[in-house]
Structure 1
Amino acid sequence: MPGVLLRQLAPDAAGRPAAGREDRGTPEQRRLAERMVAQLDRQATALLGGDRAGFLAVAEPAARPALGKRYAALRALRTSVWRSAADGVPVAVDGRPGEWRLTVTVGYCFVVPGCGPSTATMGTRWRVVGEEPRLTAVEPSRNDPAGVRPWEVSDLAVAVGKRAVVATTPAQRAKLPGLLAQAESAARAADRYAVDGTPPDRYLVFYAGRAEWQRWYGGGRPKWTAGYAVGVGGGRHDVVLNAQSLSPAGVDDLLRHELTHAASLPEQGYADRASWWLVEGLAEYAGTDGQPVDRYEGLAEVRKLLKGGWSGRLDAVAPADDASDDRVGGAYGVGYLAVRHLVDRYGEQRVLDFFRAVVHQRRSPAEAADEVFGDPWSALQDDCVAYVRTAAG
């Protein structure tokens, strides 16, 4: 089953990532920060220009193997924007004279030069000899809300299409052509659900093996998760698929589901479990790609859920992280059937307007239903649940 995890870190007015300003430091620290960022700017120029030697030149020799792998991954992803900003000032490393730590936020884009940058916050380590700071390590962004990005810790093989970018490890490179074709098809379907009218410039999909699933974006997903979308700033959501739990027949539906999250969700993310049914129901609706309701694979799980374990309220159907597979499948099915009923009654556009009001504008379903549908939500909630019971048999 798919899932969703969201975050946002907005850029500042100049288009650079917002940096912390709580610690202005001493004049010496501020000057040192400027020299470090200047080195990172040189590295960015080299990255964008395809200059591997220049990218590594700002670093000490011991740091270059890891940085070389990062450079290769970022080049494979066709990095088009890379800007660093200091978060605060450098901090001396205790007991190691001349060594410093500086937290930086990087704004980045892949493929598209003019995008609103996504962001990642990471630690950098430096050794200062004379006036020149030399990079000794770049730490993965473990403390970043979205977690460690795949390009920070893994070698990547990448395929780029017109609407999607698909990346995986070199060991699974042979799967890229098929995955890209499926992602391109799913992207065309997901574009319909961009509720703000602007689909993502590219959908970025990472196909994770067993080790990568536990490492990328922090790992630790509920055991029933087959894929998820994670907000990475700039109004963008990366998608991760779990290779270990996917059957070949399920990839298309899952891609449509997750890319619809990437298209439909707001930049600031969502965290209201009461609207889980609507968020996941819309993605499930997109995932089914117009198939008849009686062919929906989760109807048996919905029937089990209706027999016990659910109060009958849509705002209380979200499963717990440790829920059984049947409970999870039933919850997704309820969301799908409720959204399907609203679409059948009011049409896709009005349901997207309702989604925008509830998920983007964070208005109550009661207020949104009155405005968008012209009907009271209390009655619509009952109608949706009645439809769920009828459709599940």
Structure 2
Amino acid sequence: MTDGDEQAPAVSGGAPRRRRGWPLWTALALVLALVACGVPGVLLLGLVGDAAGRPAAGRDGDPAAAARRLGLRMTAQLDRQASALLGGDRAGFLAVAEPAARPDLTRRYAALRALRVTVWQPAAVDGRPGEWRLAVTVRYCFVVPGCTPSTVEIGTRWHLVGEEPRLLAVEESRAKPAGARPWEVSDLAVAVGKRTVVATTPALRARLPGLLAQAEAAATVADRYALTGTPPDRYLVLYAGRAEWQRWYGGGRPKWTAGYAVGVGGGHHDVVLNAQSVTSAGVDDLLRHELTHAASLPDHGYSDRSSWWLVEGLAEYAGADGQPVGRYEGLAEVRTLVHGGWNGRLDSLAPADDAGDDRVGGSYGVGYLAVRHLVDRYGEQRVLDFFRTVVHEHRSLDDAADQMFGERWSALHDDCVAYVRAVAG
């Protein structure tokens, strides 16, 4: 279920607590293009200037030439580091860095090796001049070689020791909406399946076998809702403890959220579950719900709050996995919402961040019932085509209903609401 951030376009998916609980001279920046064949990989790199932070110049006084030479040395450092990473040489990986940077790099190295990184490729592009701190774009993939990479921006700091550039620090990414990736900031324990990768902290390692099995089962359902025609290469599921929930991907989710899907570029959405809210009984439908977001949402998520009911309704429909309507566990909250002053508009269903559990659960349930009614009437494929037209192509509900169903949306809307009220009793 959604976490209430549907207006932050790369973030969607979640569950209410009840359920699952960036010129002095031309300089050089470096971008890491990571294509990992084994599982997720990450990043580091930097930029230019002299030890006092001034533009560097060669003996001929040409700062641009000096920048090129320094850039080549930095690239060589990063190439050596990449080779060490792929070869399992931790000492070689750390050798490019100053002692102060090594604890953080040691943890990153361990996380990357646990994630089975197999390809690590640095490349140089124009960057920001005259600075020691630079935001670096990193392109990376999970599991499958040749995929469309996800992207992340990180800060790096460098200085010169003689003629050698030395890495001082790699900062965590802070760009919204995704924020810091778990593999940037945490030790990770990882389990890998055919369709999913599940990661958590070492303290929660014991949950990995069960979570992996449940994620693999949920992936077979979510794959059916891949609107691009091809399911994600792998679904990445992160199981967050209390501290990690507040830090991974920027934290700050509504209190009622038990899970969410966050867009990380390249058509990928990472799924995060809140270990403090997820119950054993609710994890299966939560995984089906969130992995369906990962399969069905466009690269940059969605931004039209009025389509919240459709996005979440489809994910709830997938989460229910064909069970009879009468067994949907949110029916009590639906009744409370329907008989508690709801205005009968699907476009007003999205709950506020501070909404109570009944309001949240009722909103999800109404979305589910509306989508269920459309599926029962027109079939899954036509509803998926309707979803694609509205959420991916940004067409109006009126246009989409006319094109896909041959009906006016106003009439269909009223039919859906009547169905919801009938089920609520």
TM over 0.5: yes
Which residue number in structure 1 is paired with residue 278 of structure 2? 246
Answering whether residue 82 of structure 2 is matched by residue 44 of structure 1, we say yes
Q: Measure how far apart 1:302 and its partner are.
A: 1.0
**3-state DSSP class of the match of 1:211?**
helix
Which residue number in structure 2 is paired with residue 7 of structure 1? 10
Letter in 2 for 1:66: D
Which residue number in structure 2 is paired with residue 214 of structure 1? 246
Answering whether residue 162 of structure 2 is matched by residue 124 of structure 1, we say no
**1:341–1:199 distance in 2 versus 1, CA, 3 Å:** same
Letter in 2 for 1:305: L
**1:38–1:362 distance in 2 versus 1, CA, 3 Å:** farther
Q: Residue 55 of structure 1: which of 93, 99, 104 is its match?
A: 93
The separation in 1 between residues aligned to 2:91 and 2:176, in whole angstroms, is 28
- Amino-acid identity (%): 78
Are 2:32 and 2:121, in contact at CA under 8 Å, matched by a contact in 1? no
Letter in 2 for 1:40: L
Which residue number in structure 2 is paired with residue 20 of structure 1? none
Q: Measure how far apart 1:313 and its partner are.
A: 1.2
Letter in 2 for 1:201: D
Taking the TM superposition and a 5 Å limit, the aligned residue runs for 1:349-388 are: 349-388=381-420
Which residue number in structure 2 is paired with residue 136 of structure 1? 168
**3-state DSSP class of the match of 2:313?**
helix
Answering whether residue 161 of structure 2 is matched by residue 161 of structure 1, we say no
Q: Measure how far apart 1:89 and its partner are.
A: 2.3
Are 2:136 and 2:153, in contact at CA under 8 Å, matched by a contact in 1? yes
The separation in 2 between residues aligned to 1:116 and 1:254, in whole angstroms, is 27
Answering whether residue 420 of structure 2 is matched by residue 391 of structure 1, we say no
Please give the per-residue CA displacement for 1:341-389, whole angstroms capped at 9, x wherever unaligned. 0000000000100010000001001101111111111100000101111
Letter in 2 for 1:321: D
Answering whether residue 371 of structure 2 is matched by residue 339 of structure 1, we say yes
The separation in 1 between residues aligned to 2:269 and 2:382, in whole angstroms, is 24
Q: Measure how far apart 1:6 and its partner are.
A: 4.5
Taking the TM superposition and a 5 Å limit, the aligned residue runs for 1:291-302 are: 291-302=323-334
Answering whether residue 306 of structure 2 is matched by residue 274 of structure 1, we say yes
Which residue number in structure 2 is paired with residue 173 of structure 1? 205
Structure 2 gap segments, 5+ residues each: 12-30, 35-54, 56-62
The separation in 2 between residues aligned to 1:207 and 1:87, in whole angstroms, is 37
Are 1:165 and 1:205, in contact at CA under 8 Å, matched by a contact in 2? yes
The separation in 2 between residues aligned to 1:289 and 1:324, in whole angstroms, is 26
Which residue number in structure 1 is paired with residue 38 of structure 2? none
**1:152–1:308 distance in 2 versus 1, CA, 3 Å:** same
Please give the per-residue CA displacement for 1:154-197, whole angstroms capped at 9, x wherever unaligned. 10000000000000000111110000000000001100000111
Segments of 4+ in structure 1 off by > 6 A? none
Letter in 1 for 2:360: V
Structure 1 gap segments, 5+ residues each: 9-13, 18-24, 93-99
The separation in 2 between residues aligned to 1:102 and 1:309, in whole angstroms, is 52
The separation in 2 between residues aligned to 1:56 and 1:280, in whole angstroms, is 45
The separation in 2 between residues aligned to 1:391 and 1:132, in whole angstroms, is 71
Q: Measure how far apart 1:31 and its partner are.
A: 5.2
Please give the per-residue CA displacement for 1:5-61, whole angstroms capped at 9, x wherever unaligned. 6439xxxxx9959xxxxxxx9625565455434433432333233332222121112
Are 2:239 and 2:272, in contact at CA under 8 Å, matched by a contact in 1? yes
Letter in 2 for 1:88: G
**1:285–1:266 distance in 2 versus 1, CA, 3 Å:** same
Q: Measure how far apart 1:307 and its partner are.
A: 2.1
Q: Measure how far apart 1:116 and its partner are.
A: 1.3
RMSD value, Cα: 2.1
Say which structure, 1 or 2, has more relative contact order (CA 8 Å, 6+ apart).
Answer: 2
Report the TM-score when normalising by structure 2: 0.83
**3-state DSSP class of the match of 2:103?**
helix
**3-state DSSP class of the match of 1:185?**
helix
Please give the per-residue CA displacement for 1:135-171, whole angstroms capped at 9, x wherever unaligned. 0110000235310010111100000000000000001
Are 1:33 and 1:86, in contact at CA under 8 Å, matched by a contact in 2? no
**1:245–1:91 distance in 2 versus 1, CA, 3 Å:** farther
Answering whether residue 128 of structure 2 is matched by residue 89 of structure 1, we say yes
**3-state DSSP class of the match of 2:141?**
strand
Which residue number in structure 2 is paired with residue 76 of structure 1? 114
Q: Residue 327 of structure 1: which of 359, 372, 375 is its match?
A: 359
**1:331–1:41 distance in 2 versus 1, CA, 3 Å:** farther
**3-state DSSP class of the match of 1:326?**
helix
Letter in 1 for 2:128: V
Which residue number in structure 2 is paired with residue 67 of structure 1? 105
The separation in 1 between residues aligned to 2:177 and 2:77, in whole angstroms, is 26
Please give the per-residue CA displacement for 1:250-307, whole angstroms capped at 9, x wherever unaligned. 0000000000000000113211111111100000000001110011111111111112
Letter in 2 for 1:182: Q
**1:86–1:307 distance in 2 versus 1, CA, 3 Å:** farther
Which residue number in structure 2 is paired with residue 22 of structure 1? none
Please give the per-residue CA displacement for 1:181-230, whole angstroms capped at 9, x wherever unaligned. 00000001100000111100100000001000001001000000000000
Are 1:118 and 1:234, in contact at CA under 8 Å, matched by a contact in 2? yes
Between 1:267-276 and 1:32-41, the stretch displaced more is 32-41
How many equivalent residue pairs?
A: 374
**3-state DSSP class of the match of 1:280?**
helix
Letter in 2 for 1:338: A
Are 1:7 and 1:145, in contact at CA under 8 Å, matched by a contact in 2? yes
Q: Mark the structure with the bigger radius of gyration.
A: 2
The separation in 1 between residues aligned to 2:79 and 2:421, in whole angstroms, is 59
Are 1:90 and 1:101, in contact at CA under 8 Å, matched by a contact in 2? no
